């Protein structure tokens, strides 16, 4: 059974940093691309970032490019999202997501971790 | 960036109704489209990928169609557990983008 468990969310001041982690199990982690998707309170889904199975290729939404960094540790089956220069508009539930075998759509989602950016 | 227009944003319906949700792309994406269902306080779940392929375990009352720029999600006979918000997503190119969502509520 695929399991994705996020951690690292919390309250941070504008301009601050936070590192999210996602512990994956139930599949061969290094064989799959992974993504982060966020959802601001009461709003829709927003794709944030993706990383290939090897970690060589990374992709970002324009809204986070230059501020967020996605990475993975295949030896520990863990996905990370380093978030710097946080803004109020980054407040959201952040979902860790496993991509499909071809690295296209998301086929499994974690339960999410809430990030609140406020002074 | 590929922009997506999902409509309607709100749909009031009754159990047993047939529903159609539309998703239109700013440019052609072949069949690289997925549909997700999200219930309040829960993570989204995959319903359909490749525009029309049902994810394993998803009831057959859900179906998807379309290619290029125009896509449709149909629920043939709405059940109580189907009241939720539905999102389309293109995976033709990065950045991936989602539609704005369609909330299906009880009439």
- How sure is the predictor about A103, in pLDDT bands with cuts at 50, 70 and 90? confident
Average pLDDT, chain B: 96
Per-residue pLDDT, averaged over A74-96, amounts to 98
User: What's the confidence (pLDDT) of residue A102?
Assistant: 83
* CA distance to A90, A93, A97, B1, B10, per residue, from A48 (Å): 10, 12, 11, 13, 25
User: What's the confidence (pLDDT) of residue B21?
Assistant: 98
What does the pLDDT look like over A9-68, one tens digit per residue? 999 999 999 999 999 999 999 999 999 999 999 999 999 999 999 999 999 999 999 999
Per-residue pLDDT, averaged over B29-55, amounts to 97
Tokens 């990374």 locate to: A58
- A109 neighbourhood in chain B, CB within 8 Å: 43-45
Residues β-bridged to residue A19 = A82
> Comparing A17-21, A37-41, A98-102, B43-47, which segment has the lowest mean pLDDT?
A98-102
- CA-nearest of A104, A16, A118 to B51 is A104
Please give, rounded to a whole number of angstroms, the shortest distance from the CA of A49 to a CA of chain B: 8
**d(C-alpha A60, C-alpha B20), whole Å:** 32
Could you count the other beta carbons within 10 Å of the beta carbon of residue B99?
Answer: 28
A89 burial class (0-12, 13-18, 19+ CB within 10 angstroms)?
A: exposed
- A108 neighbourhood in chain B, CB within 8 Å: 46
Enter the tokens of residue B2: 């590929």
CB contact under 8 A, A105 and B97: no
Q: Is the pLDDT confidence value at B107 over 90? A: no
- CA-nearest of B100, B32, B39, B9 to A45 is B100
Query: What backbone phi and psi angles, to 5 degrees, belong to B81?
Result: -75, -5
CB contact under 8 A, B91 and A104: yes
User: What's the confidence (pLDDT) of residue B70?
Assistant: 98
């Amino acid at each position: 059974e695929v399991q994705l468990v996020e951690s690292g969310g919390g309250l941070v001041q504008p301009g601050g940093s936070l590192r999210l982690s996602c512990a994956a199990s139930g599949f061969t982690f290094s064989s799959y691309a992974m993504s982060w998707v966020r959802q601001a309170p009461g709003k829709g889904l927003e794709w944030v970032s993706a990383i290939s199975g090897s970690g060589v290729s990374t992709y970002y939404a324009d809204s986070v490019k230059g501020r967020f960094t996605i990475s993975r540790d295949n030896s520990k089956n863990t996905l990370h999202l380093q978030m710097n220069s946080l803004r109020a508009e980054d407040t959201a539930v952040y979902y860790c997501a496993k991509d499909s075998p071809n690295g296209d759509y998301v086929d499994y989602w974690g339960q999410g971790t809430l990030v609140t950016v406020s002074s | 960036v590929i922009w997506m227009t999902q409509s309607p944003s709100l749909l009031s319906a009754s159990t047993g109704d047939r529903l159609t949700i539309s998703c239109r792309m700013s440019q052609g994406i072949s069949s690289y489209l997925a549909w997700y269902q999200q219930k309040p306080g829960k993570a989204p779940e995959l319903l359909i990928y490749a525009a029309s392929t049902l994810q394993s375990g998803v009831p057959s009352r859900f179906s998807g169609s379309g290619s290029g720029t125009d896509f449709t999600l149909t629920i043939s006979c709405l059940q109580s557990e189907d009241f939720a918000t539905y999102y389309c997503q293109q995976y033709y190119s990065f950045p991936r983008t989602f539609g704005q969502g369609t909330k299906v509520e009880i009439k």
